[in-house]
């Protein structure tokens, strides 16, 4: 359906848990994180119910995210059930890849063929410094397994942080020469009160693009409706692609088709807005589907027009990224 700004809203990003097996410095630092009590997290049954209703309101694509979706117990059985729901055209997954090696084939067997793996460094010691865990090898093996079982495309999300991993931008871009990966550079966003975001750490998509051009010509690649906000390019002769997500610097709000469901059952029209609709309480109170459908419809209609953040001095969104899902 259309929101009040004439945008088609057909994409739901679903955070299935706020728990994670990594502690990325920009998302979920080691100390000071408040986890949701388990009783507040939507059960799989509740999630499936909300998904069925949101399909009635025009949702066609779902991305599963977290926290780390693969750490939640019973995730594969949930995925099997989700993939059987009629009316969804695509289900995708964003994972940190730590548990991917053993689960890739099961995920693929559920009919999921597109996957995003987050990886901010190709150097094991630095991976440890960014994520707090010594799991680089596991993620790398997870990526190789995903390739082996036939995921296509495999997107690698790299959050670029000045002074932390920006000296690896060319290494990541070069990876696409020999691997069929779609490496997507994401601007660091000021989400959560424990976020490390500062102007000094921010590096714009444009600057990353300029740096990669020192490697060779970046040929633009046509956009299709499933691409989302990434601007896509390929280096000459490359097997893979590079993409840029200017979450802050590039206003793609005009074309935003997203709705979000947090792990504790709140619908959000915008990642950066603190405006939320609690759908879990009425669901648990036994309110009927027509009431819940109205809540979904109101959230869509009142989706904020834009995130209203200036790239060089944004305020921080209060909720933590791991509970929204990125």
The contact set with ligand SAM (CB under 6 A) reads 20, 26-27, 65-66, 68, 94-96, 118, 157, 159, 186, 188-189, 191, 195, 321-322, 325-326
Do the beta carbons of residue 66 and residue 20 sit within 8 Å? yes
Instruction: Give the C-alpha separation, 46 to 289, whole Å.
Output: 12
For residues 225, 118, 271, 293, the Cα torsion angle rounded to the nearest 10 degrees is 60
195 binds ligand SF4 (CB under 6 A): no
Q: How far is the CB of 156 from ligand SF4 (least distance, A)?
A: 13
Candidates 3, 58, 62, 66: give the one binding ligand SF4 (CB under 6 A): 66
List phi, psi (to 5°) of 131.
Answer: -105, -10
Which residue is at the shortest CB distance from ligand SAM?
A: 326
Binding site partner of 23, from ligand SF4, ligand SAM, none, Cβ cut-off 5-8 A by kind: ligand SF4
Which of positions 79-98 make contact with ligand SF4 (CB under 6 A)?
Answer: 96
DSSP H/E element including 299:
helix 289-301
Binding residues for ligand SF4, rule CB under 6 A, total 13
Candidates 9, 12, 16, 22: give the one binding ligand SF4 (CB under 6 A): 22
Q: How far is the CB of 282 from ligand SAM (least distance, A)?
A: 26
Length of the chain: 326
Candidates 58, 67, 240, 269: give the one binding ligand SF4 (CB under 6 A): 67
| Residue in 136, 196, 189 with CA at minimum distance from that of residue 164 | 196
* Residue 174 or 195 with smaller CB distance to ligand SF4: 195
Contacts with 219 (C-beta within 8 Å, 6 or more apart), sequence order: 233, 234, 235, 236
The distance from CA 207 to its chain's CA centroid, rounded to whole angstroms, is 22
Candidates 165, 257, 322, 323: give the one binding ligand SF4 (CB under 6 A): 322
Do the beta carbons of residue 307 and residue 314 sit within 8 Å? no
| Residues within the interface to ligand SF4 (CB under 6 A) | 20, 22-24, 27-28, 66-68, 96, 118, 321-322
């Amino acid at each position: 359906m259309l929101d009040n700004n004439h945008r088609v809203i057909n994409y739901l990003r679903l955070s299935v848990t706020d728990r994670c097996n990594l502690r990325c410095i920009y998302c979920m630092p080691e100390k000071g994180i408040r986890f949701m009590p388990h009783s507040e997290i939507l059960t799989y049954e509740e999630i499936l119910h909300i998904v069925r209703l949101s399909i009635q309101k025009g949702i066609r694509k779902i991305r599963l995210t977290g926290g780390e979706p693969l750490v939640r117990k019973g995730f594969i059985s949930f995925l099997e059930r989700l993939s059987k729901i009629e009316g969804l055209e695509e289900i995708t997954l964003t994972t940190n890849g730590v548990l991917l090696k053993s689960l890739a084939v099961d995920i693929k067997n559920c009919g999921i063929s597109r996957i995003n793996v987050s990886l901010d460094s190709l150097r094991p010691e630095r991976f440890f410094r960014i994520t707090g865990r010594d799991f680089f090898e596991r993620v790398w093996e997870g990526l190789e397994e995903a390739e082996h079982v036939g995921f296509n495309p495999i997107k690698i999300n790299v959050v670029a942080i000045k002074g932390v991993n920006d000296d690896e931008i060319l290494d990541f871009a070069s990876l696409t020469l020999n691997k069929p990966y779609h490496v997507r550079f994401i601007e660091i966003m000021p989400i959560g009160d424990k976020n490390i975001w500062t102007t000094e750490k921010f590096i714009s998509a444009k600057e990353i693009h300029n740096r990669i051009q020192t490697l060779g010509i970046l040929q633009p690649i046509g956009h299709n409706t499933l691409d989302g906000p990434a601007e896509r390019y390929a280096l000459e002769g490359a097997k893979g692609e590079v993409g840029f997500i200017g979450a802050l610097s590039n206003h793609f709000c005009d074309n935003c088709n997203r709705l979000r469901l947090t792990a504790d059952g709140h619908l959000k029209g915008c990642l950066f807005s603190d405006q939320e609709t609690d759908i879990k309480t009425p669901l648990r109170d036994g309110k009927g589907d027509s009431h819940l459908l109205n809540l979904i419809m109101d959230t869509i209609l009142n989706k904020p027009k834009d995130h209203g953040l200036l790239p060089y001095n944004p305020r921080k969104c209060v909720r933590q990224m791991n509970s929204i899902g990125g």
